[in-house]
C-alpha cells in the first residue's frame, strides 16, 4: 500500500514552509498558537503504523509565548513519517 500525505501551509494564499507559517503565529496569543498546532496534531495523529497498528501521539505545550510540539511514535519508521507530516514535506 502506498501512503501519501501532504500538508500545505499558506499565508494569504501563498504557499510557505511550516517554519514560516508557524512564525506568523509568534506574535499571536498563546491560544491562537496552540490552535495552529492542534491542526498539525490532528494530521499527524491520523497516521497509523502498518506494523504496530499504532498512531503517533502528539503533545503540545505552550510556555512563555512559545509553543512546542512533541511527537511520540512506536518505531523509527513511524517517527520519520510523523515528522515529515508535521514538517509539511
Binding site for Zn ion (CB under 5 A): 49, 51-52, 74-75, 78
C-alpha distance across the termini of the chain, in Å: 19
Please report how close the Cβ of residue 44 comes to Zn ion at its closest, in angstroms: 14
Min. distance of Cβ 77 from Zn ion in angstroms?
Answer: 6
Task: Closer to Zn ion by CB, 51 or 63: give it.
Answer: 51
- Residues contacting residue 55 through CB under 8 Å, at least 6 positions apart: 45, 46, 47, 48, 49
For the chain, what's the residue count?
89
Task: Name the residue nearer to Zn ion (CB basis): 40 or 82.
Answer: 82
> Which set of grid coordinates corresponds to residue 20?
514560516
Closest approach of Cβ 47 to Zn ion, in Å?
10
In the complex with Zn ion, which residue's Cβ is closer, 16 or 74?
Answer: 74
Nearest C-alpha neighbor of 86 from the set 29, 1, 2, 5: 5
Amino acid at each position: 500500500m502506498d501512503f501519501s500525505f501532504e500538508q500545505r501551509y499558506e499565508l494569504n494564499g501563498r504557499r510557505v514552509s511550516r517554519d514560516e507559517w508557524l512564525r506568523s503565529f509568534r506574535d499571536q496569543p498563546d491560544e491562537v498558537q496552540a490552535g495552529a498546532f492542534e491542526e498539525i496534531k490532528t494530521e499527524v495523529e491520523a497516521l497509523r503504523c502498518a506494523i504496530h497498528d499504532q498512531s503517533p501521539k502528539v503533545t503540545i505545550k505552550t510556555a512563555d509565548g512559545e509553543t512546542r510540539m512533541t511527537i511520540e511514535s512506536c518505531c523509527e519508521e513511524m517517527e520519520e513519517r510523523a515528522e515529515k507530516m508535521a514538517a509539511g514535506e
